[in-house]
């Protein structure tokens, strides 16, 4: 443990990566790949054995079917009688052949049309003539390689060279046997196999096996691409000596001496092994790189934050108590950094309390003096402004500027009202008087372009509203509604008390109005707790209403029926009584 504690953090992570990640991954890869390779070999060998068994079973079935066909033909008494009969004339034979013998043999051939291409009867009956399915046995025929060396003969699988029509020569499989042992004539049956399905069966398995159908003399009769091999005609093709699999056909049968040999095709096996090795190595590399990157990242995270913490500890000895501002995280080092910052802040506060207390007190006294001076200055500035307006008013009256004098008098009253902070709520009638002064000043600005009208009930004038609430709506109508108009503008102020005691104040104009989508956004901004610069005036009105009357108060904006806007304030009587 002592030696481990002496190692740097990065060295610890490197050691952990080597012993805990890289070595185990390497050992695991070797073990897994070895077992996977062995499993692939076993699987491919098993597939090859199954493939060989499948081909063997198919061929054995086909051979057995042809033997069954030969048994059926040889046991047919009608064929026996027709072949043993003596025919007086060739016409009598051909008439019997076409009417009786040929239909029987055709029926046998059609029953096995997939396995058999030709069925031929040979006899030395001198009254039987060559033609069609029946042939006459001649000396030349007896010398052919497929003809039984002695008769009568049992069923036997033979091979001979046959010229395909328009193609190369191929080795042809046939079944030969003697017919009707009791007949006075020699009779031989030859059934030719259909070689195409046999060769296709062997070729279809080439992905797993290289198959060879071998005759008793060792000749490879069928093998991959045997139909295209020009060397087949000399019967020199032999299967490889080191064939891995062998299955002989049954003894004491027509296939005695024949066997099916196979060599396992190693290319699919090797390809599967290469793929498994590639996937294993890729996964191992990815895991190793990822683990190494994470180890480097973790060690760097711990080392950097530890070094930063040490540097700030060293700076604390020089009375530098600045906190560690970098994000420290929420782990143990992060918690240690947070406690260090809290300790530094506490130490800094203690030092300030002990050594800087008097200086801070003097600074506070100086700030108090400055605040008092600013307050006195704020009191002096409005009086100076009012005195100046009064001087301008006297000068306007003296020079006969009656209209300007009225505007200056109204403006002076407005300013005095604005600086008066003694009341938060006033009767609606007093608020509307203030609004009339505002509209008089605005009418002076706009001239004939602005007209206004009040429709207020006496009962409504007695109700109270926050100072400058209605005035803010009127100013908003002038600024955003009337100012952009090219034709005369009109502002209507209505106030009444509803049957349920709710005070309703509406300020409507015939200004430019607003798009519905923007109006909905503005309505949401008014009641939002977040300050919106473009809606600060309406937000302030709503907040002052809500401050006095709670959330029951309503400040609603809607479009006028024709054009323009309508701003409505509704103050329920119940919240006024509670306030």
In this predicted model, what pLDDT tens digit does every residue of 319-336 receive, in sequence order?
Answer: 666 777 666 666 777 777
pLDDT at 190: 92
The helix-helix angle for 266-316 and 23-74 (nearest 10°) equals: 160
At 335 the pLDDT is 75
Supply the pTM of this predicted model.
0.46
Residue 327 · residue 338 · CB < 8 Å = no
**pLDDT for residue 374:** 45
Q: How many CA atoms lie within 13 A of 518 on its CB side?
A: 7
Burial class (CB in 10 A: 0-12, 13-18, 19+), 438: buried
pLDDT for the residue numbered 495: 94
Cα(69)–Cα(67) distance, rounded to whole angstroms?
5
Predicted local distance difference test score (pLDDT) of residue 416: 59
Give me the pLDDT at residue 469, please. Answer: 85
Q: Which residues contact 323 (CB under 8 A, 6 or more apart)?
A: 341, 344, 345
Distance CA 334, CA 338 (A): 6
Low-confidence residues of the chain: pLDDT under 50: 364, 367-381, 383-384, 386
Domains of the chain plus CATH, in order, are: 47-265 (3.30.450.20), 287-355 (no CATH), 449-578 (3.30.565.10)
Which tokens in the block code for residue 248? 């002989």
User: What is the per-residue pLDDT across 267-281, written as a single tens digit (0 to 9) for each?
Assistant: 777 777 778 888 888
Residue 342 has a pLDDT of: 77
- What pLDDT, on a 0 to 100 scale, did the predictor assign at position 497? 92
Helix 536-549 and helix 516-526, axial crossing angle in degrees, nearest 10: 50
3-state DSSP assignment of residue 75: coil
């Amino acid at each position: 443990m002592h030696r481990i504690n002496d190692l740097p953090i990065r060295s610890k992570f490197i050691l952990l990566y080597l012993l805990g990640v890289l070595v185990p991954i390497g050992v695991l890869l070797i073990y897994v790949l070895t077992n996977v390779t062995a499993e692939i070999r076993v699987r491919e060998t098993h597939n090859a054995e199954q493939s060989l068994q499948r081909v063997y079973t198919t061929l054995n079935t086909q051979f057995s079917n042809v033997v069954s066909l030969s048994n059926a033909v040889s046991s047919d008494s009608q064929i026996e009688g027709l072949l043993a009969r003596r025919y007086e004339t060739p016409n009598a034979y051909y008439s019997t052949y076409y009417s009786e013998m040929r239909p029987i043999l055709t029926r046998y051939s059609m029953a096995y049309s997939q396995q058999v291409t030709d069925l031929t009867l040979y006899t030395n009956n001198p009254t039987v003539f060559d033609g069609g399915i029946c042939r006459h046995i001649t000396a030349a025929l007896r010398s052919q390689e497929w003809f039984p060396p002695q008769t009568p003969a049992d069923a036997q699988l033979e091979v001979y060279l046959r010229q395909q029509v328009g193609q190369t020569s191929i080795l042809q499989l046939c079944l030969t046997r003697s017919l009707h042992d009791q007949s006075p004539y020699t009779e031989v049956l030859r059934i030719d196999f259909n070689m195409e399905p046999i060769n296709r069966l062997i070729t279809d398995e080439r992905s797993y096996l290289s198959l060879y159908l071998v005759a008793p003399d060792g000749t490879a009769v069928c093998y991959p691409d045997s139909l295209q091999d020009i060397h087949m005609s000399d019967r020199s093709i032999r299967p490889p000596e080191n064939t891995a699999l062998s299955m002989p056909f049954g003894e004491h049968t027509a296939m005695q001496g024949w066997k099916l040999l196979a060599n396992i095709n190693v290319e699919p096996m090797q390809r599967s092994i290469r793929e498994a090795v590639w996937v294993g190595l890729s996964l191992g590399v990815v895991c190793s790189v990822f683990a190494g990157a994470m180890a480097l990242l973790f060690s760097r995270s711990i080392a950097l934050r530890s070094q930063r913490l040490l540097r700030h500890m060293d700076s604390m000895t020089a009375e530098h108590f600045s906190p560690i501002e970098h994000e420290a995280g929420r782990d143990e080092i992060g918690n240690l950094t947070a406690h260090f910052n809290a300790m530094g802040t506490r130490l800094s506060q203690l030092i300030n309390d002990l050594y800087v207390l008097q200086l801070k007190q003097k600074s506070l006294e100086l700030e108090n003096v400055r605040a008092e001076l600013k307050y006195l200055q704020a009191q002096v500035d409005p009086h100076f402004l009012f005195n100046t307006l009064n001087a301008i008013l006297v000068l306007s009256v003296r020079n006969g500027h009656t209209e300007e004098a009225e505007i200056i008098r109204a403006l002076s009253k407005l300013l005095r009202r604005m600086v008066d902070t003694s009341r938060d709520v006033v009767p609606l009638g007093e608020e509307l008087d203030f609004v009339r002064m505002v509209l008089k000043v605005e009418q002076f600005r706009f001239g004939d372009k602005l007209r206004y009208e009040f429709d207020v009930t006496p009962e409504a004038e007695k109700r109270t509203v926050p100072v400058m609430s209605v005035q803010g709506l009127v100013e908003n109508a002038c600024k955003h509604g009337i100012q952009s108009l090219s034709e005369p503008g009109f502002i209507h102020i209505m106030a009444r008390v509803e049957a349920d005691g709710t005070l309703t104040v509406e300020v409507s104009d015939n200004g430019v109005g607003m798009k519905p989508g923007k109006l909905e956004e503005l309505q949401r901004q008014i009641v939002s707790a977040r300050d919106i610069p473009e809606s600060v005036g309406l937000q302030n009105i709503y907040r002052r209403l809500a401050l006095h009357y709670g959330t029951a108060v309503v400040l609603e904006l809607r479009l006028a029926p024709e054009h323009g806007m309508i701003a409505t304030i509704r103050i329920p009587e119940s919240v006024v009584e509670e306030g």
